[in-house]
Chain A
Amino acid sequence: MQEDNISWAQDMRRRIADNDIWYSFTHTPIAYISAIIGLSLIALAIFAPFIAPQNPFDLASLDLFDASLPPSWLDQGDQRFLLGTDDQGRGILSTIFFGLRISLFVGFTSVFLSLLIGVSLGLISGYVGGRVDAVIMRIADVQLSFPAILIALLIDGVFRTVVSKDLHEDLALYVVIFAIAVSGWVQYARTVRSSVMTEKIKEYVQAGQVIGLGSARIMIKHILPNVLGPVFVIGTLHLALAIIIEATLSFLGVGLPPTTPSLGTLIRIGNEYLFSGEWWITIFPGLTLIILSLSVNLFGDWLRDALNPKLQ
Chain B
Amino acid sequence: MSLLEVKNLTVKFPSRKGDFTAVDDVSLSVEPGEILGIVGESGAGKSTVGNAIISLLEAPGYMSDGSIWLKGGRIDDLDENLKSTIRGRRIGMIFQDPLTSLNPLETVGAQLIETIILHLELSEKAARARAIDLLNQVGIENAEERVDQYPHQFSGGMRQRVVIALALCSDPEVVIADEPTTALDVSIQAQILSLLRKLCEERNVGMIMVTHDMGVIAEITDRVAVMYRGKLVEIGETEKVLYKPTHEYTKSLISAVPRPDKKADRFPLVTYIEDVETLPEDVKLSDLWLGKTRDYEDFEGSMLTVERLKLDFVTKRAIFKRNNTYFTALKGVSFDIKQGEVFGIVGESGSGKSTIARCVTGIYEPSDGTVSICGADLNKLVDINKRNYYRRQTQMVFQDPFSSLNGRMRVENIIAEPIIFHKQAADKTEVRKIVHELLEIVGLGTGAARKFPHEFSGGQRQRISIARALATRPRFLICDEPTSALDVSIQAQILNLLKDLQEELGLTMMFISHDLPVIRQMCDRVAVMQSGEILEIAETEALFNTPQHSYTKKLLELMPKFRTSA
List chain A residues, Cβ under 8 A from B403: 202-204
B363 engages A211 (CB within 8 Å): no
B391, B406, B409: the one within 8 Å of A210 (CB): B391
Chain A interface SS verdict (over half): helix
B387, B400, B406: the one within 8 Å of A222 (CB): B406
The interface bits of chain A over 223-237 (1 if a CB of B lies within 8 angstroms of the residue's CB, else 0) are: 001100000000000
B360 to chain A, nearest CB (A): 10
The interface on chain A, measured as residues whose beta carbon lies within 8 A of the other chain's beta carbons, has a size of: 20
List chain A residues, Cβ under 8 A from B472: 211
Complex CA–CA separation, A204 to B469 (angstroms): 12
Interface with A: B90-98, B442-450, B498-506, which one? Answer: B442-450
List chain A residues, Cβ under 8 A from B465: 207
List chain A residues, Cβ under 8 A from B363: 206, 209-210
Number of A-B contacts (CB under 8 A): 67
Within 8 A of B (CB), among A188-224: 202-204, 206-213, 222
Complex CA–CA separation, A226 to B361 (angstroms): 24
Within 8 A of B (CB), among A1-39: 1-4, 11, 23
Given the interface pairs A207-B468, A210-B362, A211-B417, the reply to whether A226 lies near B407 with Cβ below 8 Å is yes
List chain A residues, Cβ under 8 A from B406: 204, 222, 225-226
Complex CA–CA separation, A202 to B395 (angstroms): 17
List chain B residues, Cβ under 8 A from A202: 403-404
The interface bits of chain B over 348-384 (1 if a CB of A lies within 8 angstroms of the residue's CB, else 0) are: 0000000000100111000000000000000000000
User: Which chain A residue lies CB-closest to B390?
Assistant: A212
List chain A residues, Cβ under 8 A from B445: 1
Given the interface pairs A3-B447, A23-B16, the reply to whether A209 lies near B362 with Cβ below 8 Å is yes
Complex CA–CA separation, A212 to B391 (angstroms): 6
Complex CA–CA separation, A3 to B394 (angstroms): 34
A41 to chain B, nearest CB (A): 31
A213 engages B421 (CB within 8 Å): yes
A207 engages B446 (CB within 8 Å): no
Complex CA–CA separation, A225 to B396 (angstroms): 23
List chain A residues, Cβ under 8 A from B66: none
B394 engages A210 (CB within 8 Å): yes
B387 engages A212 (CB within 8 Å): yes
B395 engages A204 (CB within 8 Å): no
A203 engages B447 (CB within 8 Å): no
List chain A residues, Cβ under 8 A from B418: 211
Residue B228, interface by CB 8 Å:
no
Complex CA–CA separation, A202 to B403 (angstroms): 6
A11, A212, A222: the one within 8 Å of B421 (CB): A212
Complex CA–CA separation, A207 to B394 (angstroms): 11
A71 to chain B, nearest CB (A): 47
Complex CA–CA separation, A203 to B400 (angstroms): 7
B16 engages A1 (CB within 8 Å): no
User: Which chain A residue lies CB-closest to B277?
Assistant: A1
User: Which chain A residue lies CB-closest to B453?
Assistant: A204
A211 engages B407 (CB within 8 Å): no
Complex CA–CA separation, A1 to B450 (angstroms): 12
Binding site for A on B (CB under 8 A): 16, 358, 361-363, 387-388, 391-392, 394-396, 398-400, 403-409, 417-418, 421-422, 445-448, 450, 465, 468, 472
Q: 9 pairs across A/B with beta carbons < 8 Å?
A: A1-B445, A4-B447, A204-B403, A207-B396, A207-B404, A210-B363, A211-B395, A212-B422, A225-B406
Apart from A203-B398, A206-B404, A210-B361, what 10 extra A-B contacts exist at CB < 8 Å? A1-B445, A204-B405, A209-B361, A210-B395, A211-B421, A212-B392, A213-B417, A213-B421, A225-B408, A226-B408
